[in-house]
Structure 1
């Protein structure tokens, strides 16, 4: 129940999309209402979270495991606006407590404009993404690169390859 309440609070603040898009381990199917699917997925993460004391996201020489990713629905439903393509977004939450969440996020080819609903530190694990802020500063991030974005910043997120996978650590700041 705590996870459901926490998730709804974060989603209501727009706390999902790109970098930290909240769902969980367990692979629940996407339902018509993405919030309900996400909530159900979070509940299934309880046992997995308790069982693992350490999670290795990107073992050397091996691809990131995509087990447990859950579709987040359309980017618009989570605070983003698609500018190009038909990007699909997915996430897996490995830790969530109060306003803090950590896990993996995946996005497929496309361009999305997002007002970041949380403050986030992220590291790209696979693929490449180009981020552009409102001032026009642009940077492309590849595997091993990290970035930090504050809640409320407007970012254009562009994936040109097949997909990008990042690990993230988010916190939703009080308004």
Structure 2
């Protein structure tokens, strides 16, 4: 399990480097003088500087796709594909130490995943069916939130085209 957590942190750091160069939505470098640019990059990358604008994750309308980075195979996050050919993407809007927040997108498929972090998430678009080890199943749709602890085994199933969630994760010490 430590290997999955370590791999996740490395993956997050790589995504943060890319996301830190992007604005929250729009995919362009921030405009302004070099001090403002450095401040924006530092704020998105986890420095103590604060961004000037809050980021809004809309429940009404379409979530902006700009800034998402392909995370590769679900196996990279501790998952095992059971059905389909799901693709996973993320946009990291904040990362500092063991904490990360942003958006996550997954396409159609079914994955068994041992969560490599503790997560609070809210579904923004699409639907996902989550089943825990006790057999509890729930279909989450836009506006629904969940909380999963690091190490829990979850069946994650997207039946539609895709699901997008906002997330706040933390990696707990082993």
Does the alignment reach a TM-score above 0.5?
yes
Gaps of 5+ in 1: 1-8, 24-36
CA distance in 1, matches of 2:69, 2:52: 19
- Pick the structure with greater CA Rg: 2
Change (3 A) 1:126 1:141: same
Task: Output the TM-score relative to the length of structure 1.
Answer: 0.76
Give the number of equivalent residue pairs: 149
| Corresponding residue of 1:80 | 79
| Corresponding residue of 2:120 | 121
Task: Output the TM-score relative to the length of structure 2.
Answer: 0.77
CA deviations 1:14-64 (Å, max 9, x no partner) are 459xxxx847xxxxxxxxxxxxx6364255356272644300111x63211
Change (3 A) 1:15 1:133: farther
CA distance in 2, matches of 1:63, 1:108: 16
| Corresponding residue of 2:18 | 41
CA distance in 1, matches of 2:142, 2:173: 31
SS of 1:105's equivalent?
strand
Q: CA-atom RMSD, angstroms?
A: 2.4
Matches within 5 A, 1:3-42: 12=6, 14=8, 22=12, 38=15, 40-42=17-19
CA distance in 1, matches of 2:86, 2:133: 21
Gaps of 5+ in 2: 23-39, 45-49
| Corresponding residue of 1:64 | 63
Change (3 A) 1:168 1:118: same
